[in-house]
């Protein structure tokens, strides 16, 4: 996978984790299951990853983030799993050119799971 995409997927996962960590009840539940829920540490990790994202992708990600809970979504069976629009078949080949692709319908950043 494109390194920029790997970063964006990781950031999105950490942001979801951060939301849980900031929710006292959920954080307690998850901590009991053995997941460390240190909001400050998670924030640091997010910042560290964001520093490695190219500015144009970072800006776009933040814009999407304001609109969607899941700005980065996997392609499943030829569809964007964010809005379920068809993803052009060229997507698969373009992915190999190492580009960050967007859904033509909703704009979310797509990746191949």
Residues that bind Zn ion (CB under 5 A): 80, 82-83, 85, 103, 105-106, 108
We find the least distance from the C-beta atom of residue 9 to Zn ion, in angstroms, to be 16
Q: State the burial class of residue 87 (Cβ atoms within 10 Å of its Cβ: 0-12, 13-18, 19+).
A: buried
We find the least distance from the C-beta atom of residue 66 to Zn ion, in angstroms, to be 16
We find the least distance from the C-beta atom of residue 8 to Zn ion, in angstroms, to be 15
Q: Which is nearer to Zn ion, 42 or 110 (CB)?
A: 110
Pick from 90, 84, 89: nearest CA to 106: 84
Q: Which is nearer to Zn ion, 10 or 105 (CB)?
A: 105
Max Cα–Cα distance, the chain, nearest Å: 45
């Amino acid at each position: 996978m494109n390194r920029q995409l790997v970063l964006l997927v990781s950031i999105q996962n950490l942001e979801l984790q951060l939301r849980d960590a900031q929710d006292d009840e959920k954080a307690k539940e998850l901590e009991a299951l053995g997941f460390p829920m240190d909001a400050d540490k998670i924030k640091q990790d997010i910042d560290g990853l964001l520093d490695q994202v190219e500015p144009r992708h970072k800006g776009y990600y933040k814009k999407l983030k304001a609109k969607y809970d899941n700005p980065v979504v996997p392609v499943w069976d030829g569809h964007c799993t964010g809005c379920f629009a068809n993803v052009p078949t060229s997507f698969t080949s373009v992915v190999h050119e190492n580009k960050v692709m967007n859904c033509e319908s909703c704009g979310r950043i797509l990746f191949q799971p």
